[in-house]
Amino acid sequence: MFSYNELQVIDVVARRGSFSAAAEELHKVPSAISYTVRHVEERLAVELFVRLHRQVQLTPAGTYFVEEARQLIKQMEQVKLQTQRVANGWSQSVSVALDTVVRESRVNTLVRDFYQHFPDVELHLSMEVFNGVWDALADGRADLVIGATAAVPVSGTFDYRDMGTLGWTFVVAPDHPLAAAEAPLEPEALAKYPAICLEDTARVLPKRVTWLMDNQRRIMVPNWHSAMQCLKAGLGITVVPEHMAKPRVAAGELVEKQLAIHPPVSPCCLAWNKERLNPALTWLLNYLGDSEQLHREWMR
């Protein structure tokens, strides 16, 4: 209904209190200011200002209109700014998917540092399991994934950065029957007890199971926190990431046992969609660092 110029004129007249003062600020002649105000009033069919000798005062309707006009001006300026940012590669949000094997304590620092540099960009985080991180990247639900394990099951416009390898530790509750068993433990002895397995969050890609004996029952859990609770309660057995096992073994919450067939280490990587590069995503890639830093901060 109203142009940016008309709203701006009404705002300045209300703020300066006269047509001549508004004309001076806007570098226009007073008659142009008066004409704009009168034109807006005619379209509204109300008076916005009471004309005095050399000044004007807002009517109650004018006070309301000016308040709303100022909000519209801010929104219009924001639209202009955001459009220019998009043209320069800016995005409203960046989506990051993390495999549940990474150190959760590192996430809070990442979020804090990101918002210090990009207060007007939203950071969307999701936790995925196994092939779920690759699925999120391939499906476009994530721009960047941290801690993706195993071989790369997707192809496309993606780039990768090595994060080193993830080792696995077999642990049981101190009162579990296997805690007192002689090591190394054979698969036949392990198969007697339920395996605690994380549910792969992949929607399209094949789901993956990290550790399971033949003919072994499963306890399916959503994340490593739930897996640890089941382990400490003696409900089942499994292998867990080394960096998660060490503090719990040191605290006496779990007992480490040697296996006859130890699970192989899992290569991990950082991966991102090259077609979605923008200033915020580029900052994240620089912030996360090289392979050594990634392994030290996220996998140990």
Of 63-72, 73-82, 211-220, the poorest mean pLDDT is in: 73-82
Q: Is 209 helix (H, G, I), strand (E, B) or coil?
A: coil
Tens of pLDDT, residue by residue over 109-118, are 999 999 999 8
* Alpha-helix residue ranges (DSSP H) falling in the chain: 4-16, 19-26, 30-44, 60-87, 105-117, 131-139, 187-190, 224-232, 242-250, 279-288, 291-298
**pLDDT category, 175, cuts 50, 70, 90?**
very high
* Mean pLDDT calculated for residue range 195-199: 94
Cβ contact 233:171 at 8 Å: no
The two three-digit tokens of residue 264, written as one number: 């192989």
The candidate with the shortest Cα–Cα distance to 145, out of 100, 204, 86, 91, is 100
For 109, residues 6+ apart whose C-beta sits below 8 A from its C-beta are none
Q: Is the pLDDT of residue 251 over 90?
A: yes
Q: What is the pLDDT of residues 265-298, one digit of tens each?
A: 999 999 999 988 888 999 999 999 999 999 999 9
Q: What's the mean per-residue pLDDT of the chain?
A: 91
Contact present, 162 and 145 (Cβ < 8 Å): no
Structure tokens at 55: 């000044």
Per residue in 207-229, pLDDT tens?
888 889 998 999 999 999 999 99
What phi, psi does 153 have (nearest 5°)? -95, 5
Burial readout 201-230 (b: 16 or more C-beta within 10 A, e: otherwise): bbeebeebebbebeebeebebeebeebbeb
Handedness of CA 63, 66, 16, 46 (dihedral sign): negative
**Roughly what angle, to the nearest 10 degrees, separates helices 4-16 and 19-26?**
130
- Say whether pLDDT at 162 is over 90: yes
Q: What is the pLDDT of residues 39-63, one digit of tens each?
A: 999 999 999 999 998 899 999 999 9
Task: Kindly list the structural domains of the chain, giving each domain's residue range(s) and its CATH number in brackets, ordered by start.
Answer: 4-87 (1.10.10.10), 93-165+267-298 (3.40.190.10), 168-264 (3.40.190.290)
Separation of alpha carbons 192 and 278, rounded Å = 52
For the segment 166-173, the average pLDDT, to the nearest whole number, is 95
**Band (85; pLDDT cuts 50, 70, 90):** low
Pairing of strands 56-58, 93-99: unpaired
pTM: 0.69
Confidence at residue 153, expressed as pLDDT on a 0 to 100 scale: 62
List the one residue out of 204, 203, 239, 205 whose CA is nearest residue 224: 239
